[in-house]
Amino acid sequence: MDYQARGVLYLPEEARFRTLVDLPEGENIGAAVNAAMRAIEGANSDLKDVLPETYNRLGSTLLSELLKAMNSVPMDVEGDVFGKIYEYFLGKFAMSEGQKGGEFFTPTSIVRLIAGIIEPFGGRIFDPACGSGGMLVQSARFVAGHRRGVGAELSVFGQERVAETVRLAKMNLAVHGLEGDIRQGNSYYEDLHSSPGRFDFVMANPPFNVKKVDKKRLKDDPRFGLGLPRADNANYLWIQAFARPRPQGLDGGADRVPLQHRSALPRRGTGEPARQRGDAGRAVRR
């Protein structure tokens, strides 16, 4: 079976839900789930070193109850059920983190609005502050919602500063049946995708009003050809970072790059934030 063409994540036998839920009583379920995570990573190279392998900390009793609860979810439901479940828990986790939650999660309603404004029907889309990857997932969903083949139409790329958040983004793409090129790095100082002129759309919700960016390190960066801001504020760096990746001549040269302030979950405006690594990352349905 061509799992990639069918838009699903391949799971080896030992990593399948039925195998885990049928484990005999007294089995070390934490060890079995950890082994399942390793098997999934082994079968899906883009998830290497991404999945958690610390389930033994939860204890077999709790994991057994969790598996039983999940077993009550009907398996014949249509649509991207597990992708939506993942998004739901990402949102809940972000809310529990308060202001810090805005560092990796933008509310789905805002992401949907931005995708609707940009209309990324096809081409290469880049998020230089991708967090947990919601913008990229919504772009693929936008294409699919207009009855177009995601794999044939859209390639997604992202960069994220925090290693743990990069893992969240990769898992987010995976549970939605997508592939992309997500790289870890600070977007102020590292352009790991060599972005100028490479992308058709830029879609991001960056940290605003960040101070103490070392402008000396940006002096010869081709992304900031319009000059560096005099004020100790990185907002105009982001504006240039959004504009430069667009090839000249698209849509008559007009950049459709909405700038959206993180107001619902404001990101901390101090220190150094930003985003990641890559080459070609196609948003193909797995």
Give the per-residue pLDDT at 6: 58
Residue 50 or residue 153, greater confidence: 50
181 three-state secondary structure: strand
Instruction: Assess whether 166 and 227 both reside in one domain.
Output: yes
CATH label of the domain that carries residue 209:
3.40.50.150
Q: What is the DSSP letter of 195?
A: -
Q: Cβ atoms within 10 A of the Cβ of 12, count?
A: 15
Of the candidates 254, 241, 239, 275, the one whose C-alpha atom is nearest the C-alpha of residue 130 is: 275
pLDDT digits (tens, 9 = 90+) for 92-109: 776 666 655 555 677 778
Domain that holds residue 53: 3-71
Would residue 87 count as lying in a domain?
no
pLDDT digits (tens, 9 = 90+) for 12-45: 999 999 999 999 888 999 999 999 999 999 998 8
Q: For the whole model, what pTM was predicted?
A: 0.73
How far does Cα 6 stand from its chain's mean position? 21
Instruction: Assess whether 132 and 30 both reside in one domain.
Output: no
Rounded CA gap, 67 and 137, in Å? 27
Instruction: Assess whether 38 and 107 both reside in one domain.
Output: no
Would residue 130 count as lying in a domain?
yes
Would residue 92 count as lying in a domain?
no
What average pLDDT is seen over the chain? 78
CA distances (Å), 180 to each of 53, 54, 193, 240, in order?
23, 26, 12, 23
Please, are residues 40 and 3 in contact by the beta-carbon 8 Å criterion? no
Instruction: Assess whether 102 and 52 both reside in one domain.
Output: no
Instruction: Assess whether 114 and 229 both reside in one domain.
Output: yes
Instruction: Assess whether 59 and 152 both reside in one domain.
Output: no
Rounded CA gap, 276 and 130, in Å? 9
Instruction: Assess whether 154 and 232 both reside in one domain.
Output: yes
pLDDT digits (tens, 9 = 90+) for 231-277: 899 999 999 988 876 665 344 343 444 433 332 223 333 333 333 33
Number of domains forming the structure of the chain: 2
Beta strands in the chain (DSSP E): 123-127, 154-160, 181-184, 201-202
Would residue 80 count as lying in a domain?
no
Residues with Cβ within 8 Å of 35's Cβ and at least 6 positions away in sequence, in order, are: 14, 15
**pLDDT above 90 for 141:** no
What is the residue type of 80?
D
Rounded CA gap, 267 and 136, in Å? 19
Q: What percent of the chain has pLDDT over 90?
A: 33
Give the per-residue pLDDT at 126: 93
Q: What is the DSSP letter of 257?
A: -
